Amino acid sequence: MTFENSLAFAQEQDKLDPLAHYRQQFHHPVINGQQVLYFTGNSLGLQPKSARDYINSELDEWAKWGVEGHFHGKNPWVSYHEILTPASAELVGANESEVVCMNSLTTNLHLLFVSFYQPDGKRFKIISEAKMFPSDRYLLETQVRHHGFDPDEAIIEIAPREGEFLLREQDILAAIEEHKDELALVFFGGVNYFTGQLFDMKTLTEAAHKAGALAGFDLAHAAGNVPLHLHDWNVDFAAWCSYKYLNGSAGNVAGIFVHDRHGNNTDIKRFGGWWGHDKERRFLMENNFQPMTGAEGWQISNAPVMGMAILKASLDIFAEAGMPRLRKKSLKLTAYLEYIFNQVVAMFPDYQLQIITPTEPEKRGCQLSIKLIGSDKKFFEALTQAGVIADFREPDVIRLSPTPLYNSFEDVYRFGETLRNLLSQSHH
Ligand SMILES: *Cc1c(COP(=O)(O)O)cnc(C)c1O
């Protein structure tokens, strides 16, 4: 469609947007008396206004029942995690048996690696993206060391080619082919946190399997952002956090996916705890760990109900809005941001600001990463001062994520005006 850089156009798009009313269901930060333009749903999602009622309801149950709240009330705590499953499974394209909410992201990845990174003879290598999110990189380093390998030897990083910012799929596939006799695992972020590049998880999974390896994904930047079909793509395992696009609140409970083909195999090695034990026998306090089938068999501890209540509030909104409609809006809103940004930046040829995220809509979610060539963090600080909440990633990238649930076309237009003012001020 043809876009226009005008307030009237942006407002018209908001009027046409069937999801526009969700904006009012979130608290929008007011900083220094100013309602900010919030583009950091990729880092910490906004608070659903309904979250307070969901928590209060569990606080009331606790006050009323004490320990008996595990078995009474509307959502007994003993099975509280189960009420998060249908919406989570829908979000990632999984059977309900393949998904559970538990722990936090990096913790879950370690637990999943216990099961799915099982080096065997000379098959010990992991292929992943260069400049991974640090926590994932530390995960890989410590996992391979745990098995007695040297990270330099065991971790094969695929980097962008000289002078490029994005990974080429053909380079990843070539590396998988090259190392196929030594490969244990292909492990990528579904969407790269730095560039916003969305990987073709189906193709990577197929290639990993063909090489005799497994494929796992960190979906921190993908869950709630892009359509996922983990089951059909045959992905072996995945994990995501809930506080980015899923608006679950800082550090809240995360989610895992284990494909049924593994979940149904209770012989797979794992670290156990009572919440993963056969739930019919959980309270018999007997020896001999018997994991449940499905992703639930990877649970360890009892469910953190208060956090889960917030996540439930948010997942109910996702379930109602639905990923297909969210993605449809997201494609348009992100394209609009790209258009506005390029329009404004073209007015100031002295500045080199460049979007490094793929331009192809099917290769990205809603995040656009902007490289500040020859500029420094001061520009980002000025943007923040002017009421745009984006984020900065060293050394020189600003990330902006217009989320389809609570960002509007008007937000994007206003961002363009802010950017224009800023560039024209520093220009003179
Ligand atoms: C946000 C993020 C994390 C954070 O991990 P936590 O265990 O939740 O602190 C890890 N990996 C990626 C790729 C992320 O984007």
Q: Please say whether the beta carbons of 399 and 368 come within 8 A.
A: yes
Token pair, residue 4, equals 């226009």
What's the pLDDT at 281?
86
CA nearest ligand 1 atom 1, residue: 220
Place of tokens 């390896």: 213
Taking the C-alpha atoms of residue 381 and residue 390, their distance in angstroms, rounded to an integer, is 10
Q: How far apart are the first and last CA of the chain?
A: 35
What's the pLDDT at 377?
84
Question: Is 403 annotated as contributing to ligand binding?
Answer: no
Question: Is 406 annotated as contributing to ligand binding?
Answer: no
In 174-312, beta strands by DSSP E: 183-189, 214-218, 237-240, 254-258
Residue 351's pLDDT band, with cuts at 50, 70 and 90, is: confident
Token pair, residue 401, equals 């994520």
What's the pLDDT at 428?
41
CA nearest ligand 1 atom 15, residue: 220
Question: Is 106 annotated as contributing to ligand binding?
Answer: yes
Question: Is 53 annotated as contributing to ligand binding?
Answer: no
Question: Is 133 annotated as contributing to ligand binding?
Answer: yes
- The ligand 1 atom nearest the CA atom of 189: 13
- Residues above pLDDT 70, as percent of the chain: 99
Sign of CA dihedral 241, 243, 248, 253: positive
Q: Report CA(227)–ligand 1 centroid distance (Å).
A: 19
Mean pLDDT across 342-363 = 93
- Is it the case that residue 427 has pLDDT exceeding 70? no
**What pLDDT digit, counting tens, does each position of 160-189 carry?**
999 999 999 999 999 999 999 999 999 999
Residue 34's pLDDT band, with cuts at 50, 70 and 90, is: confident
Q: Report CA(399)–ligand 1 centroid distance (Å).
A: 16
**What pLDDT digit, counting tens, does each position of 301-314 carry?**
999 999 999 999 99
All structural domains of the chain, each given as residue ranges with its CATH number in brackets, are 7-47+323-427 (3.90.1150.10), 53-320 (3.40.640.10)
Query: Cβ atoms within 10 A of the Cβ of 123, count?
Result: 17
- Residues above pLDDT 90, as percent of the chain: 90
Mean pLDDT across 312-327 = 98
Question: Is 22 annotated as contributing to ligand binding?
Answer: no
What's the pLDDT at 378?
86
Q: Report CA(39)–ligand 1 centroid distance (Å).
A: 18
Which CA distances in Å does 362 have to 177, 200, 399? 25, 9, 18
Residue list, ligand 1 pocket, CB within 6 Å? 104-106, 133, 135-136, 189, 193, 218, 220-221, 241
Q: Report CA(242)–ligand 1 centroid distance (Å).
A: 10
Q: Please say whether the beta carbons of 22 and 321 come within 8 A.
A: yes
Token pair, residue 212, equals 């005799």
- Is it the case that residue 200 has pLDDT exceeding 60? yes
Taking the C-alpha atoms of residue 129 and residue 127, their distance in angstroms, rounded to an integer, is 7
- Is it the case that residue 73 has pLDDT exceeding 60? yes
- Is it the case that residue 190 has pLDDT exceeding 60? yes
- The ligand 1 atom nearest the CA atom of 251: 8
**8-17, 340-349, 371-380 — which is least confidently predicted?**
371-380
Token pair, residue 147, equals 């098995």
Mean pLDDT across 329-346 = 97
Token pair, residue 95, equals 């059977």
* Identity of the residue numbered 73: G
Note if the pTM is more than 0.85: yes
What values do phi and psi take at 236, rounded to 5?
-80, -50
Q: Please say whether the beta carbons of 407 and 39 come within 8 A.
A: yes
CA nearest ligand 1 atom 8, residue: 105
Taking the C-alpha atoms of residue 4 and residue 340, their distance in angstroms, rounded to an integer, is 8
Pocket test for ligand 1, best of 44, 131, 135, 195 (most atoms within 8 A of CB): 135
Taking the C-alpha atoms of residue 31 and residue 387, their distance in angstroms, rounded to an integer, is 8
- Is it the case that residue 86 has pLDDT exceeding 80? yes
* Among 4, 22, 34, 48, CA closest to 407: 22
Question: Is 195 annotated as contributing to ligand binding?
Answer: no
Place of tokens 């705590």: 77
Question: Is 103 annotated as contributing to ligand binding?
Answer: no
Q: Report CA(106)–ligand 1 centroid distance (Å).
A: 6
What's the pLDDT at 81?
98
Pocket test for ligand 1, best of 136, 198, 245 (most atoms within 8 A of CB): 136
* Among 354, 370, 347, 337, CA closest to 421: 347
Place of tokens 């876009």: 3
Q: Report CA(220)–ligand 1 centroid distance (Å).
A: 6
Q: Report CA(196)–ligand 1 centroid distance (Å).
A: 14
Q: Report CA(241)–ligand 1 centroid distance (Å).
A: 7
CA angle 222, 95, 234 (to 5 degrees): 65
Mean pLDDT across 379-401 = 92
Mean pLDDT, rounded, of the chain = 96
